[in-house]
Chains A and B, each alone.
Chain A
Amino acid sequence: MSERMTETIKKEPSEIKGTVGQNGGVLLIRTLEKFLPFVAVIVLFIIFSLTARNFFTIRSILSLALQTSAITIMGIGVTFAIITGGIDLSIGSVIALTGTVAVMVARAGVPIWTSMIVGVGVGSVCGLLNGLMITKLKLPPFIATLGMMMIARGVALTITNAAAYPAPEGFGGLGNGTILGTGQKFPGIPIPVLIMIAVAIIFAFILTKTRIGRYTFAVGSNEEAARLSGIKIKQVKHVAYIISGSLAGLVGIILASRMVTSQPNSASGYELNAIAAAVIGGTSLMGGVGTVGGTVVGSFIIGILTVGLTMAGANYYMQQIVIGLVVVGAVAIDQLRARK
């Protein structure tokens, strides 16, 4: 979020030069529009604080952040794939596979941390394979990652025989631990939330301040122009899908750790929520446009709606309808903005 705001602020002075003479009001509206998703989060937050009891408590806010961390981290990863003009449908299944592998490896006697690194590594490999299918076999990203979605899920189910295995002692630390807790008063910040914050900051930096981030946009904005500018398209795509796969792997071990079991059926359909979060946050499925901050905000809009609607007494089906409307509405607003 912070990255998105500083971006906006930094851009303004230069744009003022171009527009202030003509119309100051237009500029104000534009600025508001840029903040729209962020404003939406605040508005939602206020609404639920007023309508749902116990929504505005430290405990429920922390729980909201914890619940939203998985989709946020996934969403950041898939944002990279989407900005290159692709998509990654495999991340939900990769989560199940990486969590399962990490638990099985740990059960085999490998130290907990090593097994978790192995888990993330499996995610990276899945990402690399996606990238190779797209660049070497020239598959459309939709097809390549759809295949990977089925394969990863199938592998997870095969190696566990579709059963949930308990993880060894100590495996739950990552997902269930907190820091800075003071007992009753403040339950502490869950480690997954800290990881989410770190991932958001690191990947916002990579996307906006580094060469590979710049190349990611260039490839998504105009692949042929990027190629003729000497950018190694294939490498850029590989990196984007490896980021997507690795962050899914990270979510995989966090979720496995939280449940302290291998769940080969877990995270089914999560990929669509992550993609929805990116899209609500302004990432264009056409490629070339998107921010990490936007995806974080998008995830929180989905998260707040889910938690808030539950606490306000709306059932699961109702939540689905509302979130569906938000996805459609967010993109519709973007389209209207583009038309102006």
Chain B
Amino acid sequence: MNKSNICAAVEGNKLKFNTRQFFSKPPIFDDILKKKIYRFKLGINGYVEIDEPLIDPKNTAIFTTSLINKGDAIQGGSVDGWSTKPIKKPTVGAATGTHSANFSYLKGHSYAHVQSGHRDHQQSADVQSRHPDVIEIINPVYLQDEVKKKT
């Protein structure tokens, strides 16, 4: 299990999350997946964990910088991301001894990344060790479409 509390990203087929502040944002059409994605932001404190990995993640994850294994998780002050299916109603439960939080799931191909300070993300040992110069690297699998567009 690979766990990161610095600004890393997770990608999976089902992600579980908890947060104290949930914002939904209007959906966008994703040009890579070629479908509508439902965006969200978790405020104050957000935790997202891969509950079900993608099938063949090396060939289906959009970003090669994403953590992709079951149990991989991220945690941060502000987390943003999306899922390909509408996000269900969170349930409120105890997150710590003193705080309660909203618990829910992101279903379908989903992505979450800690955004509070892109610099932290850039500088995190986790990301730096793999890709020192960029925040997100698109999986080459999806670049075929880009190549087609240019030719």
A, B bound: no
